[in-house]
Amino acid sequence: MKTTNSFSINFFLKKDKASKGNAPIYVRITVNSKFVDISLKRRVSINAWDQLGQKLNGTDVESKDTREKIRQMRNEINAAYDVLRYDKQILSADAIKAKIEGIEEEQTTLLWLMTYHNTEIKKLLEPGTMKNYYSTERYVKEFLIKKKKRKDIYLSQLDYRFVIDFEIYLRQREPDKGQRPCSNNTVMKHIERLRKMMNIALKNDWIVKDPFIRFERHMVNKDRQCLEQEELEAVKNLELDSDGLQIIRDNFVFSCYTGLAFADICQLSDDHLVTDIEGEKWIEMVRQKTANFSGKKFYVLLLPEAIALIRKYKGHPMAVSSGTVFPVYSNQTTNRYLKKISREAKLNFDLTYHIARHTFATTVTLENGVPMESVSKMLGHSSIRTTQIYSKVKKKKVSSDMKLLRERLKQA
């Protein structure tokens, strides 16, 4: 039966792993220009190996045993190739390797990789991060069915074209009801998550070639929304008609003066409040988002506004029950109430904890002369570049600084 697939077997020594004149022997299986390498778990003398003849010279017992191993491996590879052709399965070097090593074929597919990530790697990631990976998985499955007309694909079949096609699909995808179309940065984040999963495959030798090797990520830098001082005062001074709204407003304001994320406020307890030898009060804790990785500890010197809020809720029944500094509501309830507070304060945007952290980084600290390095430490960032993304110098600040310079020049 005539085939359109190119197929070759090549035994070779990995001389970069040589030691004392011996090197490990591998076999390279190539199908349609894509290959995988398999170790024979043997080391042989470099001088005894005939690369052109694909054979090992020598009459000792070990050499004879290795030659038999090479013969058996060649037969197994050819047999696996014939079975895949006969069963009309997708032919690939990865599929042949899977058959030889007794791995189920689905373990070389994209959906298998995503399932592996979302069950095993899940243990290292925060629930909020995993929620994003589940969204990426859903879009990949949609893309495979709608554009590739298939339910799954072998990892060995992924290439640069697949990545670009997935990007185009996300950009053109008709959003579900209540959704917004994928923006450029959203598309890039989905592709970046897929890329991280492919890196796992590379590190485990499930694929040889990185399909993202020529892909360039293009993020659009956006101004981060934050509250002006007047807007922050408006939120602080709101007369609210329910305890729930007041609690969520106060938690949000506390974030504006400390930079704490919602997850951090939900965990904040008396154990995180410390007093130094000078009598200054601090928050000392580990950021929830990075706790499973670097355990990034951060410190925030409490401003009077933050201290007043802590005192306000001292002994509150909800806080006592949960063992936290503040009474807290669910993320869903918090976001719903923050929208109502936004309307009450007559803001033309919805309040979020991202805005609270941006307000702390910009309006409360940087615009009042706190150095970027100190702000980065208080936000719990592992890199100052992350802080630079959160913060921005507003036109009002530039105007104030330049007017001050102008006055100094006049006096010189």
Higher-confidence position of 197 and 102:
197
What's the confidence (pLDDT) of residue 291? 38
In this structure, the answer to whether residues 388 and 260 fall within a common structural domain is yes
198, pLDDT greater than 50: yes
Instruction: With residue 56 as reference, give the H or E element that holds it.
Output: strand 55-56
In this structure, the answer to whether residues 235 and 288 fall within a common structural domain is yes
What's the confidence (pLDDT) of residue 396? 57
Residue pLDDT, tens place only, 90-105:
678 888 888 887 765 5
Residue for token digits 């996300």? 170
What's the confidence (pLDDT) of residue 140? 95
Highest-scoring range by mean pLDDT, 118-122, 240-244, 380-384: 240-244
pTM for this model (two decimals): 0.55
Report the percentage of the chain scoring pLDDT > 70: 86
Residue 391 φ then ψ, to 5°: -100, 160
Q: Using an 8 Å Cβ cutoff, are 358 and 390 in contact? A: yes
293, pLDDT greater than 80: no
Give me the CATH number covering residue 388: 1.10.443.10
Domain count, the chain: 3
Higher-confidence position of 29 and 102:
29
In this structure, the answer to whether residues 153 and 196 fall within a common structural domain is yes
What's the confidence (pLDDT) of residue 197? 94
320, pLDDT greater than 90: yes
Residue 275 lies in a domain: yes
Indicate the pLDDT class of residue 384, thresholds 50, 70 and 90. low
In this structure, the answer to whether residues 350 and 314 fall within a common structural domain is yes
Residue ranges making up the domain that contains 90: 7-102
Q: Using an 8 Å Cβ cutoff, are 133 and 117 in contact? A: yes
Q: Which of 181, 190, 248 minimizes the C-alpha distance to 217? A: 190
How many angstroms separate the first and last alpha carbons of the chain?
Answer: 93
In this structure, the answer to whether residues 375 and 256 fall within a common structural domain is yes
Name, in order, each residue with C-beta under 8 angstroms of 300's C-beta and a sequence gap of 6 or more. Answer: 258, 259, 260, 282, 283, 378
What's the confidence (pLDDT) of residue 38? 92
What's the confidence (pLDDT) of residue 290? 43
Residue for token digits 């592992």? 382
404, pLDDT greater than 80: no
366, pLDDT greater than 90: no
In this structure, the answer to whether residues 29 and 63 fall within a common structural domain is yes
Residue pLDDT, tens place only, 166-195:
999 999 998 888 778 888 989 999 999 999
Residue 332 lies in a domain: yes
Kindly write down the DSSP assignment for every residue of 21-42, as one continuous string. TEEEEEEEEEETTEEEEEEEEE
Average pLDDT taken over every residue of the chain: 85
Residue 210 lies in a domain: no
What's the confidence (pLDDT) of residue 53? 92
Q: Which of 131, 382, 359, 403 minimizes the C-alpha distance to 225? A: 359
Strand-pair category, 55-56 with 273-275: unpaired
Residue 264 to residues 252, 259, 298, Cα–Cα distance (Å): 12, 10, 11
Residue 1 lies in a domain: no
Residue 214 lies in a domain: no
Indicate the pLDDT class of residue 292, thresholds 50, 70 and 90. very low
Q: In 3-state terms, what secondary structure has residue 9?
A: strand
Half-sphere exposure in the Cβ direction for 273 (13 Å, CA): 18
Residue 166 lies in a domain: yes
In this structure, the answer to whether residues 349 and 394 fall within a common structural domain is yes
Q: Which of 254, 258, 245 minimizes the C-alpha distance to 343? A: 245
Domain boundary among the residues 61, 78, 102 is at 102
In this structure, the answer to whether residues 44 and 135 fall within a common structural domain is no
In this structure, the answer to whether residues 42 and 16 fall within a common structural domain is yes
Strand-pair category, 273-275 with 281-286: antiparallel
Q: Tokens at residue 24, please?
A: 């490990």
What's the confidence (pLDDT) of residue 1? 40
Domain boundary among the residues 165, 188, 203 is at 203
What's the confidence (pLDDT) of residue 346? 92
Distance from C-alpha of 303 to C-alpha of 260, rounded to nearest angstrom: 13
In this structure, the answer to whether residues 275 and 332 fall within a common structural domain is yes
295, pLDDT greater than 60: no
Indicate the pLDDT class of residue 73, thresholds 50, 70 and 90. very high
Q: Tokens at residue 64, please?
A: 């004879």
Half-sphere exposure in the Cβ direction for 1 (13 Å, CA): 6
Domain boundary among the residues 87, 102, 117 is at 102
In this structure, the answer to whether residues 247 and 164 fall within a common structural domain is no
Instruction: With residue 364 as reference, give the H or E element that holds it.
Output: none
Indicate the pLDDT class of residue 329, thresholds 50, 70 and 90. very high
What's the confidence (pLDDT) of residue 78? 94
What's the confidence (pLDDT) of residue 296? 67
Distance from C-alpha of 131 to C-alpha of 315, rounded to nearest angstrom: 34
Residue 218 lies in a domain: no
* Mean pLDDT of all residues in 27-46: 92
Residue 221 lies in a domain: no
Question: 3-state SS string over 262-320?
Answer: HHHHHHCCHHHEEECCCCCEEEEEECHHHCCCCCCEEEEECCHHHHHHHHHCCCCHHHH
Name, in order, each residue with C-beta under 8 angstroms of 81's C-beta and a sequence gap of 6 or more. Answer: 7, 31, 91, 96
Q: Which of 106, 112, 105, 113 minimizes the C-alpha distance to 84? A: 105
In this structure, the answer to whether residues 139 and 76 fall within a common structural domain is no
373, pLDDT greater than 80: no
